[in-house]
Amino acid sequence: MKLVLATNNQGKVKELDEMLKPLGFQVIPIGEYPGFSEVEEDGETFTDNAVKKARAAAAFTGELSLADDSGLEVDALDGAPGVHSARFAGEPKNDAANNDKLLLLLRDVPQEKRTARFRCVIAIAQPDGTIHTTDGTCEGLILGELKGVGGFGYDPLFYVPEHKQTFAELDLENKNSISHRGKALKKAMELLYRLYTNQEG
């Protein structure tokens, strides 16, 4: 059973592929379908963007498609960067620039007030337009310097107190077990299995 991932972010593809393998899906990044135009993420919420991307991928490929939209919500910044996480420092997307801007904005904020969370919404779209969504969050703190070389995005700054490591320091298995995306995908896996068995039988 094919499952199209509506993303060209190789970090996301790697994480999602690892988690979806046990279900027996053939995971295919949208980049393997020439001619698909990147969807403008102009929604006001993570759900808006995830649904828009999943629906566009399913319509273009004719396959069951999965998209996620996720971002960082920093309490001291009133929830920013939120849905603008990927382009926080402007166009084009640049992880280093985003992290630099975040550190600059939080430079005078004491560590105990640098609370934040990653939030993820996953949308699953069937070719007929049917949509299902799940979500997940992970609480943490924003450090004053980058730590770790794994992951992507804000991972080197996002510290999880229970594990005493940043997302960029955790190995992929541990990260997937606690991450916002991991939690959202776990909820989605039962749904995907149900969709798979329905289509098969």
Contact 172, 15 (CB under 8 A): yes
Overall pTM surpassing 0.75 (yes/no): yes
Percentage above 70 pLDDT, the chain? 98
- Residue-wise pLDDT for 167-180, tens only, equals 999 998 899 899 99
Radius of gyration of the chain (CA): 17
Residues in the chain: 201
- So what's the pLDDT on residue 135? 96
- Residue-wise pLDDT for 57-80, tens only, equals 999 999 999 999 999 999 999 999
Q: Is residue 201 pLDDT above 90, yes or no? A: no
- Residue-wise pLDDT for 87-140, tens only, equals 999 988 899 999 999 999 999 999 999 999 999 999 999 999 999 999 999 999
Which H or E run includes 182? helix 180-200
CA distances for 90 relative to 81, 97, 99, 157, angstroms: 11, 9, 12, 19
Active site residue 135: no
Which H or E run includes 126? none
Query: What angle is formed at CA 98 by the lines to CA 96 and CA 100, rounded to 5 degrees?
Result: 70
Pair of tokens at residue 95: 């992880």
Which H or E run includes 2? strand 2-5
Which has the closest alpha carbon to 158: 66, 81, 89? 81
d(Cα 105, Cα 95) in Å, to the nearest integer?
16
We report the CATH number of the domain holding residue 70 as: 3.90.950.10
Q: Is residue 200 pLDDT above 60, yes or no? A: no
CB-based contacts of 192, cutoff 8 Å, min separation 6: 3, 20, 23, 25, 64, 66, 124
Q: Is residue 11 pLDDT above 90, yes or no? A: no
Contact 67, 12 (CB under 8 A): no
- Cα of 95 vs its chain's centroid, Å: 14
Mean pLDDT to the nearest integer, 139-150: 96
Catalytic-labelled residue, pool 42, 48, 69, 100: 69
d(Cα 72, Cα 82) in Å, to the nearest integer?
5
Q: Can you give the residue range of the structural domain that contains 59?
A: 2-200
- Residue-wise pLDDT for 27-45, tens only, equals 899 999 999 988 988 999 9
Pair of tokens at residue 40: 């403008």
- Preceding peptide of 29 cis, ω within 30°: no
Number of domains present in the structure of the chain: 1
